[in-house]
Amino acid sequence: MTQKRDYYQVLNVDRDADENEIKKAYRKLAIQFHPDKNPNNKEAEDKFKEATEAYEVLRDPEKRNTYDRFGHAGLEGMTTDFSGFGVNLDDLFGDVFGDLLGGFGGRQRAPKRGRSLQYNLEVTLEDVIHGKQVSIQVPRIETCSTCGGSGAKPGTDVITCPRCHGRGQISQSQGFFTMARTCPRCHGEGEIIQDPCPPCNGKGVVRNTREIKLNIDKGVDSGFKYQLRGEGEAGLNGAPPGDLYVVINVAPHERFHRDENNLITSAKISFIQATLGAKISVQGIDGHEELHIPPGTQYGAQLRIPNKGVPIYKRSNIGDLIVEIEIETPTHLNSEERRKLEEFAAMRGESANQEHEGFWEKLLGRHEEDDTE
């Protein structure tokens, strides 16, 4: 009696080959040695039977585990058809090639998940500081409520296609191959709707506009995306719906600029206030806020009011309100005001015609004095 070859050697695969690798290897050998392609060829027939036997064992997790542990002896007594002649090309394509060609058996109306949608939502700066519930109108495809998605008029049935018997395809032999094409009667659906549902015209879905309420969280910023599961378009043939993605865009504000969780605004003060210091009121997002101006404040200084900015998303912390200082220069001085300013300049050893000596000029002057010494 001829000793059987190792099944992995027969299919020319590694012992750790996965299901797809085993299927691919068998497909190659089955096409090469199938009896329909090799009539009256005993050698091809034996190879086909050998490959089929190996495939039938290695494709089955239980049989494969037994074979890996005990070899051919472990399979003795197990109910397995290794004849090979029960496999024709039509079955072979349906089982082994189904992943490539869509299969030759079963309905073609496979469930298809609904399409996901994106909705761009513009909100105000106040909305993301205080939080807000908004309502949006989302146009989408929904399951027809009249027929429940079947496409058939209520009280009528969807029948199995009599031409393809629900397979969605019909087989046609060409030489030793059995090919398939889409059933012309049901157009690949596998079923026929004799009396379509009027609202959806037999499609099982309708276009509708749905109102959805959404809570805008405190602290979100432009580009933030909400995922609302199941609020996209309806799935087909019992598949779940898609999701809805709401993308936030915060509109520009006329008074405030956002920098992460801080708000930036500006305030004008007089040069007297800048020099002597003062307390002023500035407009915040929720009303007026008191701001202390330190003596000697310079133009462009940034003064901070804590916890008057934007809340940090999903945290209790709040950013600050940052006030950029602008100093107003008085105009249209009367003679008395001008005289007083000239006296003040003289007291400081300054002149209106003297070029103002800034920080760098003073620093360089000190270096020159040090070098001279």
DSSP class of 302: E
- Render each residue's pLDDT in the chain as its tens digit; 373 residues: 467 889 999 999 998 888 888 988 888 888 888 776 777 888 888 888 888 888 988 988 888 888 888 787 777 655 444 444 434 444 444 444 443 333 334 444 567 788 899 999 999 999 999 999 999 998 988 888 888 888 888 988 888 888 888 888 887 665 555 667 788 888 777 888 888 999 888 888 888 888 999 999 999 999 999 999 989 888 876 788 889 999 999 999 989 999 999 999 999 998 888 888 999 899 998 889 999 999 988 999 999 999 999 999 988 899 999 999 998 888 888 888 888 888 887 887 776 565 555 443 443 444 444 445 5
Q: Is residue 60 a contact partner of residue 78, using CB atoms and an 8 Å limit? A: no
Cα–Cα distance between 169 and 244 in angstroms, integer?
Answer: 35
Cα–Cα distance between 192 and 162 in angstroms, integer?
Answer: 9
Q: Which residues of 112-148 are buried (b: 16+ CB within 10 A; e: fewer)?
A: eebebbebeeebebebbbeeeeeeeebebbbbbebbe
Closest CA to 321 of 278, 293, 285, 367: 285
Q: Is residue 225 a contact partner of residue 183, using CB atoms and an 8 Å limit? A: no
Sequence-distant (6+) residues with CB within 8 A of 62 are none
Cα–Cα distance between 60 and 48 in angstroms, integer?
Answer: 18
Token pair 């060609």 is found at: 101
Residues pairing with 117 in the sheet: 244
**CB-based burial label for 358 (10 Å; 0-12, 13-18, 19+):** exposed
**CB-based burial label for 17 (10 Å; 0-12, 13-18, 19+):** middle
117-157+194-250 and 257-331 share one CATH topology?
Answer: yes
Pairing of strands 302-305, 287-293: unpaired
Fold of domain 117-157+194-250:
HSP40/DNAj peptide-binding domain (2.60.260)
> What would be the CATH architecture of the domain defined by 257-331?
Sandwich (2.60)
Token pair 């605004």 is found at: 265
Predicted local confidence at residue 368, as pLDDT = 47
Which homologous superfamily is 7-101 in? DnaJ domain (1.10.287.110)
Predicted local confidence at residue 7, as pLDDT = 92
Integer-rounded Cα radius of gyration of the chain: 41
Q: Is residue 293 a contact partner of residue 277, using CB atoms and an 8 Å limit? A: yes
Phi, psi (rounded to 5 degrees) for 225: -125, 125
**Domains of the chain: which residue ranges?**
7-101, 117-157+194-250, 257-331
